[in-house]
Structure 1
Amino acid sequence: MSQRKLPPDLAALLQQKKAEEALASKPRFIPKKERERLQKEQEEKEEAEREAKEAARLAQKSSKRTERPAEPDGTIPTGPKAMRQTNGERENRNGGRQDRKRGHNDDEERRLKMESKDEADLRARYMGPVVNQSTFSAKKKRRRTAANKFNFDWDADDDTSRPFDPIYAERLEPLVRLGGYEMTDELIQRKADAIRRGDRETGEERARQLLEQHERAKKQSERKNLGKHWSEKSLEEMKERDWRIFKENFGIATKGGAIPDPMRSWQESKLPRRLLDIVASAGYDEPTPIQRAAIPIAMQSRDLIGVAVTGSGKTAAFLLPLLVYISELPPLTEVNKNDGPYALILAPTRELVQQIESEARKFATPLGFTVVSIVGGHSLEEQAFALRNGAEIIVATPGRLVDCLERRLLVFTQCCYIIMDEADRMIDQGFEEPLTKILDAMPVTNEKPDTDDAENAQLMSQYLGGKDRYRQTMMYTATMPPLVEKIAKKYLRRPAIVTIGNAGEAVDTVEQRVEFVAGEDKRKKRLQEILNSGQFKPPIIVFVNIKRNCDMVARDIKGMGFSAVTLHGSKTQEQREAALASLRNGQTDILVATDLAGRGIDVPDVSLVVNFNMAMSIESYTHRIGRTGRAGKSGVAITFLGPEDNDVLYDLRQIISKSSISKVPEELRRHDAAQSKPQRGGGKKADEGFGGGFAGKGQSWN
C-alpha cells in the first residue's frame, strides 16, 4: 500500500521565503577571483551571441548575393557600379567590425571601472578614507624648474663673426699661466692684427693698447714668479713662500735664530770645488733632506742638533762641513801633531765607528787628512802607534776614549770640533758619565758665549787671537730623551735644531708587519715559512733579545738550509768584523743579532728584518727596522709578538698607524694592551744577558 503524500506546510514555505528574501537583501561580498570568473563567463556568452548574430548576418548577405540577377550576356557585373557595391559591402563589414570592437572596448572599460569602484569601496570600508595624499610630481617639478632657470651662457652660433675671424681659425692652447693671464705672445699678436684689419679708424690704437697691456701683465707676472715651481727658479728668485714649500716637500723643520735656507743642490752648498768633485765621484747625486738642511747651518759655524731617522745620510751631513772647517786650520806638523786632533767624532758602537771611519776616509784622504778610529777590541799600543804622526780626525767610542785620556795617550789641546752621533743610543748604553768626562776634557778657552753672538755666523767664524777657532759642537740623534737634552743644554750654545720628518717614527720606505706567534717552536716554524717563501733575497737580519738565543736561532736557520752568522756583545772585535764582512760580500745570507746591530750597521740592500723577539722599547724597534729600506730603497720588517710584549703594543700600534705603507692588523688594533699607554715603572727590565746594550754605567761595549 503506497504512502500518501502530505501537502506542503504553508507556514514553512512562508518562513523559507522570508529567509531567502532576508538573505537576498543582505550585501554579498564576492571575491576578486570569483568576479573575474563570472565576468569571463559573461564575456564568453556575449562573444558567442555576437558570433551567432554575425554568422546569421553573413548567411543572409550571401543568400542575397546569389539571388542578384546577372547581366544580359551572362557575365559578372563589373565597373564603377560593381565597385561601389563592393565598397559598400566592405564598408558595412568594416563598420560592423568597428562596432564590435567599440562594443568590446566599452565592455572592457565598464568592467575596469566596476573593479576600481569595488576596490575603492572595499578600501574605504576596511581602511577608511584616503587622507593627506601627496600630489608631488618630480616630472612636473623638473619641467617647472627648467622653464624658470636662467641660462648664463650664450650660444656660440650667435657670434656671426666667428667663421670670418682668423683668430678662431687655429685656436692655440696657452703655454703658461702668467698671473691668470692665459694668452701666448703669438695669440696676442694675431688678435692685434685682426683688430687692425677689422677697424680701420681706431684699430691701430686698440691693437697698440692690447700689446702694451699684455707686456705689462708679463712683466708683473715675471716679478712675482707666480705659477713657477721652486725647482724652475734661480736661487735669487726664491721667495719665502718657495722656501716654505721646499721644506714641506722634504719634511724639514728648523728651530733657532738666524738659520740659513737649506741647499737645493750640491752646487748651491758653497762647498769647495775640490770637495764637490769628491762628492760626485762618491756617487752622491742628490743631497738627502738632513744634508740639505744641516750642511748650510754647519758651514756658518753654528752648533747644531740634528734629529733624523736612521739611514737618512747623517754621516755625510756632518763630515763635509767638518772637512771644510779643518781645511781652514794650519796643517799638522812636528810642532803641533801631539796636541791632539782638530775634530772628534763619538759613536756608541764599534761597528758605527768603523762605518764612520770608512766614510770619512773616502772624503778626507784625497784632501790629505788622517782619520784614526779608537775602539775596544784592539790593543792600546796599536792605537797609540796609529796616533804617532797625529790625526786631524778621531772617531771613537766613549769608553775606550776615556781609557786613552786617563793613560795620557791622547790630549785635546787643539780640538775645536765635536760631533756626537747617535747621542740617544750612547745615553741608553750608560755612556753619560764617559761622555761628560770627554766633553769636560775639551779646552774652555774657545767656548762660544751663551749669548746672541753664538747665532752670528761672522763672529763665530773669526779666529780667537789669530790662531784658534770657536768650538763647534753638533749632536745627531733619532730621539731626544731628557738626558740628551740635558747634555745639549750644557755643552751646546744657542744650537739650531733641524728635524727631518717626525722624531722617533720609522721611515716610509719600510713596510711594517706584525704577527702574534707565541712560543719559540711556533716562531721558528713561521720563520722557516718566511725564508722558504722566496719573497725576500739575502741579506736578511733576524733580531733577538738575549745573547744565547743568537746561536740557537742561527743553528736552527742553518738546519733550514741557509747560511747564518751571529753578532752580539760577547763576540770579539775580529769576530764582529768577520761576520759583517761575510754578510756584505754575499758569503752569508742571514745575520742573527741583538740590539747591538740595531744602530750603525750599514749593510746595503737588506730586504727583510725579522724581529724574532720584539724589542724592549719602541726606540730600539725603530732602529732595528731601520736596517732595511735605506738609501731610498724599500724593505719589509716582520715582528713576532707574544704575551710578554704587552708593554710596547700601544707604542707599536701608534708607530705603524703613522706609516703610509703599513697597515695595523685587526688583532693588534683590538688588543687590550694597545688601547692605552702603560704606566711607567711596570715595563720590562733588561738583564746582563741582553745584547742590546742596556747594561749599567759600569759596562761598556768597546
Structure 2
Amino acid sequence: MATNNANGTSSKKRVPIDVEQLLAQKKAADEAAKKPRFLSKAERERLAAEKAKKEEEELEQKRKATLEKNRDWETQGRNQGYGHGNNPGHRDSRREAVPTGPRAMRHDHPNEYSNGGRSDQRGDQRGNNKGKGSNNGVKRPAPEDVDADMIRARYMGPELNQSTFSAQKKRKRTGGQKFNFGWNDEEDTSQDWNPVYSKRSDAVYTGPMVFDGLNDAEIEKEYRRRARMIEERDPEHGKQRARQMLDQMEREKEKSKSKRTKNNWEFKELADMRERDWRIFKEEFGIASKGGHIPDPMRNWGESGLPSHLLQIIDQVGYTEPTPIQRAAIPIALQARDLIGVAATGSGKTAAFLLPMLEYISQLPALTEFTKDDGPYALIMAPTRELVQQIETEARKFATPLGLTVVSIVGGHALEEQAFALRNGAEIIVATPGRLLDCIERRLLVFSQCCYVVMDEADRMIDMGFEEPVNRILSALPATNEKPDTEDAEDASVMRRLLSAKDRYRQTMMYTATMPPAVEKIAKQYLRRPATVTIGNIGEAVETVEQRVEFISGEDARKKRLREILLREGYTPPMIVFVNVKRNCDSVAREVQNMGLSAASLHGSKTQQQREEALAQIRSGAKQVLVATDLAGRGLDVPDVSLVVNFNMPSSIEAYTHRIGRTGRAGKSGVAITFLASEDNDVLYDLKQMLSKSSISRVPEELRRHEAAQQKPTKGR
C-alpha cells in the first residue's frame, strides 16, 4: 500500500516477512548445507601454498638456530680448554664476560652496597654499621601509645585490614651507580698457571647435534664435518669415533624422514589409515560418495582389488596412477553394487567401468556353441557412434589378452555386417541406442544372459532423444537376474552370489556429467540402491583449461581472427574448431586449408566412413585442425589437443563445457578461445560465472559489464 508523505512523494509500507517464506528460506539453506561441498582447486592450491610457505619459513628459522647452536657448542668446548693447546697465557673473552659474584664481596669494593635498603642491614650484620642505631632509625613508640592500643584492642577488637606499609622500610633506589655484571682482567680466577691445567689434551668438542629444521643434505654435511675434525685431531681413536658418528647420522636421517612424513597418507600403510586420513584423501581428489556401505577409495592400483592378470595388463597399457573417478568407483563396482558416477569429461570414466566389468565377466563361464546365441554378458550404451568406437578400442586393449570378444553396433554400417561379427558370440557389446533397438526388433540379438549394463554419457543420450529407446532396451533385459530393492542390494556377498550356472544378479552402472530429471527417472527405475560418486563440482570446467572470450561480430571478422590465432600464436596441432551448423563446418574447414594448414571436417551429414576417417587423420597427425559440430564435443578423446576455438558459442553452457573439455585432458594444460556476439546473450551470465570460478581464467571487462551478464535470463511461458 502506498502513502503520500509531506513532500508529495509516495513511499511503500514495509510489510513483515511471511512465516512460510522464512521456513522456505530455512529449508533451502538446510538442503544447500547437506550437499557435498568442496574447495576449488585454486583455493586448495592457495591454502597449500600458504601452508608450505609458512612451514618453509619455520624450517629456515630452525635451521639457522640449529647451525648457530652447533657453532656455539663448539666454541664453548674450545673456550673450556679443548682448543687452546698448551698456551697458559691465553685468555677467553667469553670467560671474562661471566661474573663470579657481586662487587660487595670483593676486597677492592668493600662499601659499594653500603647505601640504603637491605644492603645496609647486611652491612650491620657484618659490623659495618654507619651509626644509625640498632633499630636502623625506626622510632620507638611511646608507652602511653602502647597502652592505648592494648585497651582499644581489648574492648573494640583488633584492627583488620591495617596497612603495614612503612616509608622507612621502602627500598631506596640507587642514584647514579648501577650494578655491573662485568669483571676486570685482574679478577680472572681460571689460574692457568696451575700445573693440572697445563697438560690438557688437544681434543674436539663433540656435543649433541640438533636436527630440527635441517634437511637430509644439511644433516649429512654437519655429521661429516664433525667426523672429519675428529679424525684429524684424534689419530688414535678418531676413525672409530667417526664411524660411530656416521652410523648415528643414518639413524637420525631415518628418524627425521619418519617425522616429516608420518601424517602423509602417501607414506602410511593401509592399516594405519584413519577416518581423518581418508577425509583428507577425498578432499584432495574432490571425491564425494553416498549410498549405504561404501568402501574406501583406492590409493593406487595395488589396493584396487583387481586380479593380478588385470593389473599386469594395466601396467602394459601404461596406466600409472588412477584418476579420481577410478579411485572411487572401482572399489564400489567390485562389490557388485549399482553405481551412478558423476564426473567431468576427460576424467577417465571409460576405464572406471571397463576394469570391474572385465573382472566380473572373467569369473563367468566361457561362451560355447550352445550359449553364444543367448547374447552377451555385458552391454555398454553410448550416445554417438564415435564414442562407441572409442570405447570399443579401449575395451579391446584389456579384453583381448583375456580372450574376450568385443563387438560394436552403430549406425552407418550394414546390419548384415554386424550380424556376421556376432556369429561366434561376444561377451561385450558396445552400441548406440538407435541401432541396438533396431537389432533387437529384427531378432538379430537377444539378452538372455546379460548381467552387466553400463550407460555412458546418459545425460547426452537423453538430450539426443534416446530416452524411449533406452527404456525399451532396458526392459528387454531378463527380469530373472534383477536385484531386490532391499538392503541385500548393498551386501557384496549376496550380490556376487551365482543365481545359476551362467549368470548372477544384474549390475547396472550409469555415468553422466549432469543429472537432469529424465536421467534420475531412469536411475530410479532400473538401479537398485545405487552408490553415487561425485568428482568435483557438477557442470564446471576442468582447472587445466585456460578459457578466453572475445567479442567479434561478423563471419569475415571471425575468420580473420581465427587466421591470427592459428598462424601467429604458436599453438601446436592437433587443434579443434567448433561451429554450430553443418553448412558452416565445411566453409571454415576450407578457410583453414587456405591458411596453409591441413584440416578435416566432422558433422552429422557425413557418412560413417568419412567420420571415422576424419577422426583417424586427426589422431594420427595427418591433419592439423579438426572443424566439427557438437558431434565431436562429447566424450571423444583426441590426444594432446592444445587449442579449442569456439567459432560459434553453443546455445547452452553444458555444451560449452564439453567442447572445451576436448583439451586439457589427462592432466595436461590447454587453451579454449570463444568468439561471442549479440546472439549469445542467453549464455553470457553462465559463461561469466564459469570464468570467475576458474583459477587460471580471467573475465574480460567487456563481459563483466555486459548487460546480459548481470543476471540469469528467465524463460517466458
- How far apart in 2 are the matches of 1:460 and 1:363? 24
Whether contact under 8 Å (2:262, 2:268) holds in the other structure is no
The within-5 A match list for 1:68-107 is none
Instruction: Kindly provide the amino acid, as one letter, of the partner of residue 308 in structure 2.
Output: R
Question: Are 1:655 and 2:690 matched, yes or no?
Answer: yes
Equivalents in 2 of 1:548, 1:597: separation in Å? 16
Deviation per CA, 1:197-246, whole angstroms, max 9, x where unpaired?
xxxxxxxxxxxxxxxxxxxxx99xx9x99942111111111111111111
Shift of 1:663: 1.0
| Structure 1 residue 567, shift from structure 2 partner | 0.4
CA distance in 2, matches of 1:165, 1:431: 92
Any idea what the Cα deviations from partners look like across 1:96-123, whole Å, max 9, x if unmatched?
xxxxxxxxxxxxxxxxxxxxxxxxxxxx
Partner of 1:570: 605
**Aligned mate of 1:256, from 271, 278, 291:** 291
Measure the CA separation in 2 of the matches of 1:468 and 1:637. 47
| 1:150-549 alignment runs, 5 A limit | 227-465=262-500, 467-549=502-584
Aligned equivalents of 1:618 and 1:264: distance in 2?
33
CA distance in 1, matches of 2:716, 2:594: 40
SS at match of 2:288: strand
C-alpha contact 2:688 2:703 (8 A) present in aligned 1: yes
2: CA distance, partners of 1:366 / 1:160 = 71
Residue 656 of structure 1 deviates from its aligned partner by 1.2
2:625 to 568, 574, 590: 590
1:635 and 2:704 are equivalent in the alignment? no
- Which residue is 2:659 aligned to? 624
CA offset at residue 164 of structure 1? 6.2
Deviations 1:515-541 (A, max 9, x none): 011111111111111111142011110
SS in 1 for 2:266: helix
For 1:648-700, what per-residue CA distance to the aligned partner results, in whole angstroms no more than 9, with x for missing partners?
01111111111111111111111111111111358xxxxxxxxxxxxxxxxxx
Q: Secondary structure at the match of 2:444?
A: coil
**Counterpart code for 2:533:** V
Counterpart check, 1:551 vs 2:570: no
Q: Is 2:449–2:502's contact at 8 Å kept on the other side of the alignment?
A: no
Is the CA contact 2:691–2:699 (under 8 Å) kept in the aligned structure 1?
yes
SS in 2 for 1:469: coil
The change in CA–CA distance for 1:277 and 1:646 in structure 2 (over 3 A counts) is same
Tell me the CA shift for residue 361 of structure 1. 0.3
Q: What is the RMSD computed on CA atoms of the aligned residues?
A: 2.7
Distance (Å, rounded) in 2 between the aligned partners of 1:379 and 1:165: 99
State how far apart, in whole Å, the 1-side matches of 2:643 and 2:432 are.
Answer: 29
User: Take 2:414 and 2:601, find their aligned partners in 1: how far apart are those partners?
Assistant: 24
Give the letter for the 2:530 counterpart: P
Q: CA deviation at 1:466?
A: 5.4
CA separation of 1:164 and 1:230: change in aligned 2, threshold 3 A: farther
Once the 2 structures are TM-superposed, how far is the Cα of residue 365 of structure 1 from its aligned partner?
A: 0.3
Whether 2:678 is the aligned partner of 1:646: answer: no
Determine the C-alpha separation between the residues in 2 that align with 1:426 and 1:650: 26
1:561-610: per-residue Cα shift (whole Å, max 9, x none)? 21111100101000001111111111111111000000132111111000
Alpha-carbon distance in 2 for matches of 1:349, 1:172: 70
- For residues 502 and 365 of structure 2, what CA distance do their matches in structure 1 show? 9
Equivalent-residue separation in structure 1 for 2:516 and 2:600 (angstroms): 33
Letter in 1 for 2:526: Y
* C-alpha separation in 1, matches of 2:568 and 2:268: 49
Deviating beyond 2 angstroms after TM superposition, the runs of 4 or more aligned structure 1 residues are 159-166, 169-177, 224-228, 465-468
Q: 1:456 to 1:518 in 2, by over 3 A?
A: same
Residue 468 of structure 1 and its aligned partner are, at CA, apart by 2.6
Question: 1:121 is matched with which residue?
Answer: none
How far apart, CA to CA, are the structure 2 residues paired with 1:240 and 1:473? 29
Deviation at 1:172, TM superposition (A): 6.3
Secondary structure in structure 2 of the residue aligned to 1:420: strand
Cα deviation, residue 547, structure 1: 0.6
TM-score scaled to structure 1, two decimals?
Answer: 0.66
Letter in 1 for 2:427: E
Q: Give 1:317 shift.
A: 0.7
Q: Which residue in the other structure is 2:247 paired with?
A: none
Distance, in Å, in 2 between the alignment partners of 1:269 and 1:160 is 58
Q: Residues 480 and 162 of structure 1: is their aligned pair in 2 closer, same or farther, counting only changes over 3 Å?
A: farther
**Counterparts of 2:347 and 2:81 in 1: how far apart (Å)?**
60
**1:354 corresponds to which letter in structure 2?**
Q
SS at match of 2:469: helix
Output the amino acid matched with 1:418. Answer: V
Aligned in 2, Cα 1:260/1:567: closer, same or farther, shift over 3 Å?
same
Unaligned residue ranges in structure 2 (runs of 5+): 1-71, 83-204, 214-218, 224-253
- What is the CA distance between 1:292 and its match in structure 2? 0.6
Cα offset for 1:449?
A: 1.1
Whole-Å separation in 2 of the counterparts to 1:537 and 1:434: 41
Give the C-alpha shift of residue 160 in structure 1: 9.7
What is the distance in 2 between the residues matched to 1:371 and 1:384? 13
Larger Rg: 1
Change in Cα spacing, 1:446 to 1:565, as seen in structure 2 (3 Å) is same
Measured in 1, the distance between the counterparts of 2:209 and 2:675 equals 58
* Structure 1 gap segments, 5+ residues each: 1-155, 178-182, 188-217, 683-702
Cα distance in structure 2, aligned partners of 1:413 and 1:172: 77
Partner of 2:181: none
Which stretch has the larger CA shift, 460-469 or 268-277? 460-469
Does the 8 Å contact 2:261/2:267 carry over to 1?
no
1:467–1:351: structure 2 CA closer, same or farther, 3 Å change rule?
Answer: closer
Inter-CA distance 409–312: structure 2 relative to 1 (3 Å threshold): same
Relative to structure 1, the CA distance from residue 233 to residue 163 in structure 2 (aligned partners, 3 Å threshold; closer, same or farther) is: farther
1:165 Cα deviation (Å)?
A: 13
Alpha-carbon distance between aligned partners in 2 of 1:353 and 1:268, rounded to the nearest angstrom: 30
Q: Which residue type is aligned with residue 487 of structure 1?
A: I
1:136-159 Cα distance to aligned partner (Å, 9 max, x none): xxxxxxxxxxxxxxxxxxxx99x9
Q: CA deviation at 1:614?
A: 0.3
| C-alpha distance in 1 between matches for 2:576 and 2:713 | 29
Structure-2 separation of matches of 1:368 and 1:172 = 65
How far is 1:171 from its partner? 6.9
Over residues 541-564 of structure 1, what are the superposed CA-to-partner deviations in whole Å (9 max), with x where a residue is unaligned? Answer: 000001100011111111222111
SS at match of 1:464: coil
* Residues paired across the two proteins, number: 488
